[in-house]
A and B are shown apart, each in its own frame.
Chain A
Amino acid sequence: GESVGLHLPTLSVQEGDNSIINCAYSNSASDYFIWYKQESGKGPQFIIDIRSNMDKRQGQRVTVLLNKTVKHLSLQIAATQPGDSAVYFCAENISNFGNEKLTFGTGTRLTIIP
């Protein structure tokens, strides 16, 4: 897929275990954060988002934590499954009208070991 050649941080997790993927964002003015999952040959798929007025948000098997003090974002995936193997990207945005571009991190490759 298009990840060939990318030297991504990697994380290998045993199936059924929990995983944590970390991301440091760059702009202290960013107030909207998103995690995307990208499988080989596909586009980024929305997983979960969080706004800066929150520090935690939960979805189905996923939790996003936001620490604005140190500009850090994490994605926790509970009870990992083989289908969770993918590259995960964090993205940040300043949610002002007219400035809606996303700034992506470099991504982390998660491999679930059966």
Chain B
Amino acid sequence: EAGVTQFPSHSVIEKGQTVTLRCDPISGHDNLYWYRRVMGKEIKFLLHFVKESKQDESGMPNNRFLAERTGGTYSTLKVQPAELEDSGVYFCASSLGPGGGDTQYFGPGTRLTVL
């Protein structure tokens, strides 16, 4: 069974540019999560989809971040415009569902560097 995949693995952009990260969850997993680790900090929750609906977006830092999951399959996370403090590693995870307490399986992450 394929795991969670993320694309790209690395992205280097200039401040003010736009970047879109993609996550493909494990097939059949209704729950999809985005997390990130910025330099020197712990991994922090950004948001949670159940199928195509946003269940919890309490961790999204500001309105420069937009996450979508059209059709309830893969998800994208767009940062527009990117700022220096957005640099870090963005992880996607998925779980089977429904309900909490399900194991979340993580992808390899996308390392974003904003110059």
| B106–A101 touching, CB < 8 Å | no
8 A Cβ contacts from A69-114 to B: 89, 93-107
A101 in complex: contacting residue of B4, B48, B99, B109, CB < 8 Å:
B48
Interface string of B17-53 (1 = CB under 8 A from A): 0000000000000010101010111111100100000
| A2–B109 touching, CB < 8 Å | yes
| B108–A41 touching, CB < 8 Å | yes
The interface size bin for chain B is: 35 or more
Q: List 13 A-B contacts (CB under 8 A).
A: A2-B89, A6-B39, A42-B109, A46-B106, A51-B101, A96-B99, A98-B56, A99-B100, A100-B33, A100-B95, A100-B101, A104-B42, A107-B42
A: residues with CB less than 8 A from B are 2, 4-7, 31-32, 34, 36, 41-46, 49, 51, 89, 93-107
